[in-house]
Structure 1
Amino acid sequence: MIERFIEKKLILELNNDYILTMIGARQVGKTTLLNKIKKYLLKKKAVVNLFTLEDKTLLADLNTHPKNIFNYIDFDADKQFLLIDEIQYLDDPSNFLKYIYDLYNGKIKLVVTGSSAFYIDKKYKDSLAGRKKIIHIRPFTFSEFLLAKNAVELSKKINEFSYFNKQKEIKLLIPEKDK
């Protein structure tokens, strides 16, 4: 499994208090990234719970009341990470996220995924302003694609070419008298 360029940014965002929300189209790797975050956190000996809302029983319980998440997790740790895949399946995702954030911020770090910004925005009845950070997950970049295909040398050459062209463009922008 290759490392996505966005992974380092996501790991850094785990240190912040706000709700980390990964959104993107289907099949761009949100669930894979969520699993990688879980693996990273477990290596750091963190308390981690990962759920998918494709689980109909869990979904029904959380739609009844956000506090029902505590039927599924132990709340003994000083701080824990709650990772939820497919948050848009909730009837009112903003209510769930706001409830957990407002009551347990600092004790529970929320990291969630959703498959469509439009669909999530439509279901969010509260903007969660100041409470969430949205990271857009996109399909592989061309460099990531090459790395996935073990074309490492070609990927390095493309990056070198890109860097060279950027330097050339910068030189063209500087007037001759300033060089």
Structure 2
Amino acid sequence: METELYKQNPWWEGKSEIESIPREEHLTRLMQNLESREILFLMGLRRVGKTTIMKQFVARLLNKKIAPDDILYVSLDSFNLSEFSIHEIVKKYREIHKKSVEKRVYLFFDEVVEKENFEQELKSLYDSENVKMICSSSKATLMMDKRAYLTGRTKTIEVMPLTFQEFLIFKKVEIKKADRAILESYFKDYLKTGGIPYYVLTEDREYLNELVQNVIYKDIIARYNITNEKVIKELFNLLCERVGKITSYNKLANILGISVDSVKRYVRYFEKSYLFYVVDRYSKSLNERITSPKKIYIGDVGIKNLITGYRDLGASYENLVFLKIKNKDPYYYRKNGIEIDFIGEDFLIEAKYDRDMDEKHKIVFDGIRKRNKILADGVDFFARIF
């Protein structure tokens, strides 16, 4: 075990990690919560950059003059550590560096849910040792199943795909406000590639396809013991084709030849893997919100385009708008055949990429009273810093 821990923590021997492009928004949030007792959880889609952010945060701690041997990083899906519990790993770490349990240390547990009973081990560490823990996981289901054991002890930070500003940084692009045509050209690239960091840098379609296969097979089929693999793959393709569209679970069930309850259950599995999001119809009636058709959005538009091609960039644009505002709990609005994309407590947003709002839509849009009313029709919605 000791050899593996040294391998995963090169800073113990004065070595540095390979430099990577910092995700400042997430690093700032981690730093803001550094002194709190809460266990921080980085959650999000596979390969969205959680591991990289953890290692970048280790570098920030080192820059703050925190001693290298006060920091432990462990990838808990490592085969070489598979037979050891979290407690055994931490105990070995303290033995290596002669750290008492009273000594404040920083523990990074990557893919923490790979360890059975991780929630009990984290609670024990939290209650008995002077530790700050930062954990990651791509599996929201396991976290939700076991979060109750850690009630009052955790804080979640969802790691999203790259924003447009981060996309430009990854592309090493500096664009002045006047460079409108160039900005729009890069935004069109962003609409196509999405924001999975490695894919943005390489555009390696096989890498993106492997991400999808891992979610389907490891996070859904294996996790939930699903025997009909074909249905899950077909449902994934159907949901990709319906991004930004009103979708009926009944219709999906008819196409797939399975029950509506099965469709609902499988969609929830995709949601808990951060691959898809479901938006309800706006209504004051809870019953209507629950029973009305849904709108589907995907965790990254590059994944959608991998399946559907680039034929519907309008849907990709609407999806990007959703990802930007999803923490505001949006609904979609539909009345008398007229649909407005997003409505919330204090906002109304219609997404129209390279298209104008027709007169009927404009009348409905203007007639809804909200403090913030936005027609998102291009790059400006995502490039407000320029």
Q: With structure 1 as the length reference, what TM-score do the two structures score? A: 0.76
Once the two structures are aligned, what percentage of the paired residues are identical? 27
In structure 2, the residue matched to 1:2 is 21
Matched, 1:24 2:44: yes
In structure 1, the residue matched to 2:35 is 15
Change (3 A) 1:95 1:59: farther
Contact 2:109–2:134, Cα closer than 8 Å, also in 1: yes
Matched, 1:142 2:164: yes
Secondary structure of 2:48's partner? coil
Contact 1:20–1:135, Cα closer than 8 Å, also in 2: yes
In structure 2, the residue matched to 1:162 is none
Contact 1:143–1:155, Cα closer than 8 Å, also in 2: no
Moved more, 94-103 or 76-85: 76-85
TM alignment of 1:102-117, pairs within 5 A: 102-104=127-129, 107-117=130-140
Q: CA deviation at 1:57?
A: 4.2
Matches of 1:3 and 1:83, distance apart in 2? 18
Alignment partner for residue 72 of structure 2, among 37, 44, 49?
49
Change (3 A) 1:36 1:125: closer
Alignment partner for residue 98 of structure 1, among 119, 123, 126?
123
Secondary structure of 1:10's partner? helix
Which portions of structure 1, spanning 4 or more consecutive aligned residues, are displaced by more than 3 angstroms? Answer: 154-158
Task: Please tell me whether Structure 1 or Structure 2 has the larger radius of gyration of its CA atoms.
Answer: 2
Residues 129-171 of structure 1 show CA distances to partners (whole Å, capped at 9, x for unaligned) of 110111111111111111111222168977xxxxxxxxxx9xx
Q: CA deviation at 1:67?
A: 5.0
Q: CA deviation at 1:37?
A: 1.0
Contact 1:25–1:115, Cα closer than 8 Å, also in 2: yes
Change (3 A) 1:41 1:144: same
Matches of 2:177 and 2:142, distance apart in 1? 35
* Count of aligned residue pairs for this structure pair: 157
Matched residue type, 1:60 = E
Matched, 1:129 2:151: yes
- Provide the aligned C-alpha RMSD in A: 2.6
Contact 2:22–2:56, Cα closer than 8 Å, also in 1: no
Alignment partner for residue 81 of structure 2, among 53, 58, 61?
58
Matches of 1:2 and 1:48, distance apart in 2? 21
Matched residue type, 1:20 = L
Residues 96-135 of structure 1 show CA distances to partners (whole Å, capped at 9, x for unaligned) of 110100111xx2111111112123223x164411101111
Matched residue type, 1:43 = N
In structure 1, the residue matched to 2:91 is 70
Contact 1:52–1:85, Cα closer than 8 Å, also in 2: yes
Change (3 A) 1:154 1:3: farther
Q: With structure 2 as the length reference, what TM-score do the two structures score? A: 0.37
